[in-house]
Structure 1
Amino acid sequence: MFPKKTLLSTAGILAAVLLISACSSSSGNSPANSTGTSTESGESPVSVTIDPAGGADVNPATPVVVKAEHGKLTDVTVTNADKGKQVKGELAGDGLSWKTVEPLGYGSTYKIVAHAQGTDGKPVEQQSRVSTLNPKQQANPNLIPAPSAVASGGVGVGQPIVFAFGQPVKNKAEVEKKLSVESTPKQEGSWYWIDDKNVHYRPKVYWQPGTTLKVSAMIYGVDFGNGVYGATDRTETYKVHDSWVAKADGDTEQMQIFHNGQLAKSMPISMGKDATPTHLGAHVISDKHENYTMDSCTYGVCQGQPGYYKANEKWSLRISNDGEFVHENPNSVGAQGSSNVSHGCINLNAANAQWFYQNMGLGDVVEVTNSGGPQLPVWDLYGDWSKSWADWQAGSAIK
């Protein structure tokens, strides 16, 4: 039989053990996190991150992205600090992220303010400021032909697509990666850099009639090099009309015009004389005028020099940038069909010139053979077809 004092001590110890067992977690984890809130309840303070995190010379094409962890974003604003204009943004459906849906501007500072609420129910505000880079020059994606000039009639099967940037491009490959021509139906094509400012796109062979061309330059924020950046993105659509191809032969002094591969008309012509022969090869019509003053001074032969001329001609369609046209010339009617007497143009009589003018348009092709002249240079506006496909592909900056 134990003494009473011993029994009391044993009971006290047992009670203490039971009390400790009742207060302990069955998993053995600590009863609280660092904020004093139970992790078992899933409650935590929200964490907000902003990218870019701040600083200067941020590319304005880079979207601002805000993310939340252990909670959700309630609202985010990105505001131009100088103009007070907010940038459009989009909150994800789950509330875990937000991003800008329009680009920032060059040379500007933006204030970013994000509000969020954690699973602990407590609100949080996070702020940041970013400044975008300020280019020395900006390059616009000017398109040739101008979409407004061909909107109703479309372009011919020989029409190259040209981006003229107006500023030298050092990083040609980086810029070219942002250019695209999507053809429907799909046709193989490639870019060719004529010089540091102009890049052309043409298919391997003439476009198929009825083709739709979606042309894009996604160059905003792209580094052209030497402090030049793309000014804006641009997307345009062209439609290719029926095939019109004229074949002018300097030996026969005849020109045959084919519509969708079928002979539509033949006409006598007079091309460039021996001293000023018409260029060989495929020419592309780039402009047309019912009345046009032709002045040799535009290509360097001015008044007082041998070979100078200035005359008003009717039904004129330009086929190169150095003064070659297809047009009416009443003074050479007697030579048309028998000899080549022009300064390089293809001369027609009045009726044939008017018919040619009414049926042929921008992007249509005039193929010149047996003229005695040199090949039309690739740089002569649309001398694109003078290059073989292999040589044309070699003109791309992307290897």
Structure 2
Amino acid sequence: MRTAVRRARRAGATLAAVLTWAGLVGGLAGCDSGEVFGKPRSPEDLIRVTPDDASKDVKTDGGLQVKVPEGRLESVKVVRIQDAQEEKVPGRLDQDGSRWRPSGPDGERLALAAKYVVDAVAVDDAGRRMARHTTFTTFVPDERFIGYVTPENRSTVGTGMIVKLEFNREIENRAAVEKAVRVTAKPAVEVAPHWFGNTRLDFRPKEYWKPGTKVTVDLKLRDVEAAPGVYGLQYKSFTFTVGRSQVSLVDAASHTMEVRRDGELVDTLPITAGAPRSTTYNGKMVVSELLEVTRMNSRTVGFGGEYDIPDVPHAIRLTDSGTFLHGNYWSGGVFGSSNVSHGCVGLRDVKGGSSQTPAGWFFDRTLIGDVVEVKNSADKKVAPDNGLGGWNMGWKEWTAGAAG
């Protein structure tokens, strides 16, 4: 299930709106087949977020608020991300639930050089619940650059995790910037950089990380000149831990997924993959997001009104372009026998999701950084810069992408 991010060669998903049962709100996605499940009111109409979604260089004195013209806000969660540190932004709802604003001593100002993520759930006057997911980034001082880092500081990840830095400016002096970023592991292993264009720098070892590895990322970018007159801001370290190994192999031809934990086969699950006209990518993909429930809407990915499913359970993002492995409660007895999706991998589930279904079982045992590999699909191999797809490059090709 995928399309290019904010493009639609084939149905995938772009982050736009998400609905969770327990206040967990993720990104909008779209990819599976099935009947249309109504046409709920647009989340953009009901939930109005300032600054606008995808805004860049937002001034620090710009107001942050979430409003509804009718109904009420049920929940608002705002997270600020700086230097791979994630911090919840405190806020308050008006008594009538019509508006949320930040609170505290810094409530009137936004942080410099930060990414903000807003997740809101509202109920309209007809009693319909819907969600909206938006992001924006704030102003970086003139002649400065920063790198946004994946994964999160102090997280525990799967053995396929790749360190990714996305820069807010094009990097002309890539060798100098690359030299100022150091990724080390304990126990020690060679970790090599690879540039994708002039704004993204990834790091990985030759093979998957060993379970238990402690990884440290040192950013010594402050005052490093990335382009004429453009200097870095960050001087910071962060760490993450590699958990157990889990690698799952999807066979699109036999409609199965083998789940292996620390090399041992745990279970074989029946799946449905991409239909002949919307096949699933082959290759190694790394889990980058876990969503309890998400909305999937064909119109957000360039289709007509083929589907609008507001409550897709157990959605696991595999690529930036929208390939998901997710629960499916609407396709009947296709699992293990036929491929009917728009490019995603589907597991049997029930409406609302359940830990007792194959989808719920797999979701509960998955970490960010786990590997899902697809074979025997009538499609090309996933691009190495589509999500954390760098494992689809050989070591010689990977190390050739370094600047230094």
TM-score range, shorter chain: 0.5 to 0.7
Match of 2:383 in 1: 377
Contact 1:253–1:268 under 8 Å retained in 2 = yes
Contact 2:151–2:240 under 8 Å retained in 1 = no
CA distance in 1, matches of 2:235, 2:216: 14
Q: What residue identity is the alignment partner of 2:358?
A: N
Asked if residue 225 in structure 1 is aligned to residue 227 in structure 2, the reply is yes
Match of 1:338 in 2: 337
String of CA shifts for 1:323-373, please: whole Å, max 9, x gaps: 211111122341110111101111111200000100011000001001111
CA distance in 2, matches of 1:216, 1:323: 30
1:310–1:331 CA distance, 2 compared to 1 (3 A): closer
Match of 1:349 in 2: 348
Of 195, 199, 219, the match for 1:193? 195
After TM superposition, give the deviation of residue 184 of structure 1 in Å: 0.8
CA distance in 2, matches of 1:302, 1:222: 45
Of 274, 290, 293, the match for 2:292? 290
Match of 1:212 in 2: 214
CA distance in 1, matches of 2:309, 2:373: 26
After TM superposition, give the deviation of residue 283 of structure 1 in Å: 0.5
SS at match of 2:157: coil
CA distance in 1, matches of 2:327, 2:215: 33
Q: What residue identity is the alignment partner of 1:326?
A: L
CA distance in 2, matches of 1:317, 1:143: 20
CA distance in 2, matches of 1:191, 1:333: 45
5+ residue gaps, structure 1, are 1-134
Contact 2:285–2:387 under 8 Å retained in 1 = no
Q: What residue identity is the alignment partner of 2:211?
A: P
Match of 2:243 in 1: 241
Match of 1:321 in 2: 320
1:296–1:396 CA distance, 2 compared to 1 (3 A): farther
After TM superposition, give the deviation of residue 258 of structure 1 in Å: 0.6
Q: What residue identity is the alignment partner of 1:301?
A: G
1:297–1:374 CA distance, 2 compared to 1 (3 A): farther
Contact 2:168–2:199 under 8 Å retained in 1 = yes
Match of 2:176 in 1: 174
After TM superposition, give the deviation of residue 302 of structure 1 in Å: 4.5
Contact 2:165–2:200 under 8 Å retained in 1 = yes
1:296–1:196 CA distance, 2 compared to 1 (3 A): farther
After TM superposition, give the deviation of residue 251 of structure 1 in Å: 1.4
Contact 1:287–1:317 under 8 Å retained in 2 = yes
Normalised TM-score (structure 2):
0.61
Aligned length: 258
Q: What residue identity is the alignment partner of 2:382?
A: L
Asked if residue 366 in structure 1 is aligned to residue 366 in structure 2, the reply is no
Asked if residue 387 in structure 1 is aligned to residue 388 in structure 2, the reply is no
Of 255, 258, 269, the match for 1:256? 258
Q: What residue identity is the alignment partner of 2:178?
A: E
5+ residue gaps, structure 2, are 1-140, 350-356
CA distance in 1, matches of 2:401, 2:318: 23
Match of 2:71 in 1: none
After TM superposition, give the deviation of residue 312 of structure 1 in Å: 2.5
Contact 1:243–1:261 under 8 Å retained in 2 = yes
CA distance in 2, matches of 1:269, 1:164: 34
CA distance in 2, matches of 1:320, 1:296: 17
CA distance in 1, matches of 2:193, 2:331: 40
SS at match of 2:149: strand
Match of 1:203 in 2: 205
Match of 2:132 in 1: none
CA distance in 2, matches of 1:312, 1:346: 16
1:175–1:290 CA distance, 2 compared to 1 (3 A): same
CA distance in 1, matches of 2:169, 2:347: 40
CA distance in 2, matches of 1:256, 1:235: 37
